[in-house]
């Protein structure tokens, strides 16, 4: 039997804790090191799931005790930590985005290409069972050639203003998941047209960002993608998709909190609310994402999104930000 991969985890915030639990639960992985400059967070994760605690990623990489690293630290640290993983010859799964500055991403790209070290990006939605099934059926030709893809993504509530200020804006922070989902179905995007408004969120207004956005992408085949975003949704976490082709369409609906509906004199088939948060909606996706990365780190066939996928999503995000600011359509080369 193959020994479990020894993981180093960098970052023990909300998403880092999710990854720590998934690593600990996977029989083919073990949490060997936990790294966070805020040592209390690292110690709390280590107490639950194991692993040597450090505040210094260099110590972890120098130990020789990890086979893979999962980077869940703030975006500004990603490029340097990926560089350290390459130096150590350690495969890495990094949360999105790679960076907010495409120049820093492009500076690292030659090293990624030449190293042969597996680098994966945390676009977990590709691994959502419903989205993955829709993609597989489109790829199999069930609805004919894809002509339109519609993606709706609305968060339950706007993030804190302080987070908005360092997030890179809605397109780099939120829509970037939708850009990757668009490329999952139509990788050959050539044009981006976006518009954004600030309707309700003081934090977005304070930092010159948008709380409401719509994006149209055009692929080289002429197929179109529409993306609808909002930073709030009174009905819960709104995550829907429709793929439309010459022979039909496929729809992915929202996940409900229960499968039980009720019919009475005043309501017929009244349904429970949608799931309210991404950690609940995409729990299975995060597990599958980790599983795919373990395969990748072992040199096996894997569906993990690549560093190039992460770069492409950031290119689209940058183009959308420019399009919304300048009221122009922006041509892109991915």
The string over 278-313, giving b where at least 16 C-beta atoms fall within 10 Å of a residue's C-beta and e elsewhere, is: beebbbebbbbbbbbbbbbbeeeebbbbbbebbbbb
**Contact yes or no for 6/67 (Cβ under 8 A):** yes
Question: What is the chain's Cα-based Rg?
Answer: 20
Classify domain 5-117 at the CATH class level: alpha beta
Q: What superfamily would CATH give domain 125-277+306-331?
A: Dihydrodipicolinate Reductase; domain 2 (3.30.360.10)
Distance between terminal CA atoms of the chain?
41
pLDDT in tens, 301-317: 999 999 999 999 999 99
pTM for the full predicted model:
0.95
The string over 228-265, giving b where at least 16 C-beta atoms fall within 10 Å of a residue's C-beta and e elsewhere, is: bbbbebeebbbbbbbbbbeeebbebebbeeeeeeeeee
The residue-averaged pLDDT of 7-23 equals 97
For the cut 90, the answer to whether the pLDDT of residue 175 exceeds it is: yes
Query: What region, left, alpha or beta, does residue 208 occupy, with left being phi > 0 and alpha being psi -120 to 50 degrees?
Result: left
pLDDT for res 33: 98
pLDDT-based confidence at 267, cuts 50/70/90? confident
pLDDT in tens, 85-140: 999 999 999 999 999 999 999 999 999 999 999 999 999 999 999 999 999 999 99
CA dist 187 and 169 (Å) reads: 23
For the chain, domain boundaries:
5-117, 125-277+306-331
């Amino acid at each position: 039997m193959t020994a479990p991969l020894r993981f180093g985890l960098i970052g023990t915030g909300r998403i880092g804790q999710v990854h720590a639990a998934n690593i600990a639960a996977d029989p083919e992985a073990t949490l060997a090191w936990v790294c966070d400059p805020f040592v209390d967070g690292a110690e709390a994760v280590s107490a639950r799931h194991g692993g040597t605690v450090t505040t210094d990623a260099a110590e972890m990489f120098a130990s020789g005790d990890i086979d893979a690293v999962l980077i869940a630290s703030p975006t500004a640290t990603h490029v340097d930590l990926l560089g350290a993983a390459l130096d150590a010859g350690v495969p890495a799964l990094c949360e999105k985005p790679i960076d907010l500055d495409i120049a820093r991403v492009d500076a690292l790209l030659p090293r990624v290409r030449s190293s042969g070290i597996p680098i994966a990006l945390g676009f977990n939605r590709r691994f959502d069972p419903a989205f993955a099934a829709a993609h597989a059926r489109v790829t199999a030709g069930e609805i004919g050639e894809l002509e339109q893809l519609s993606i709706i993504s609305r968060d339950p509530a706007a993030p804190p203003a302080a987070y908005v200020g360092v997030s890179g804006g809605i397109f780099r922070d939120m829509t970037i998941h939708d850009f990757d989902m668009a490329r999952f179905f139509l990788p050959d995007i050539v044009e981006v047209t976006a518009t954004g408004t600030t309707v309700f969120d003081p934090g977005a207004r304070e930092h010159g960002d948008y709380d409401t956005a719509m994006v149209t992408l055009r692929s080289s085949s002429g197929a179109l993608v529409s993306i609808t975003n909002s930073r709030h949704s009174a009905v819960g976490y709104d995550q829907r998709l429709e793929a439309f082709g010459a022979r039909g369409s496929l729809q992915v609906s929202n996940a409900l909190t229960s499968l039980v509906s009720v019919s009475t004199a005043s309501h017929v088939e009244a349904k429970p609310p949608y799931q309210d948060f991404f950690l609940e909606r995409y729990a299975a996706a995060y597990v599958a994402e980790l599983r795919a990365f373990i395969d990748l780190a072992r040199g096996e066939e894997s569906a993990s999104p690549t560093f190039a996928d992460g770069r492409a999503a950031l290119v689209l995000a940058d183009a959308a930000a420019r399009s919304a600011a300048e009221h122009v359509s922006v041509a892109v080369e991915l």
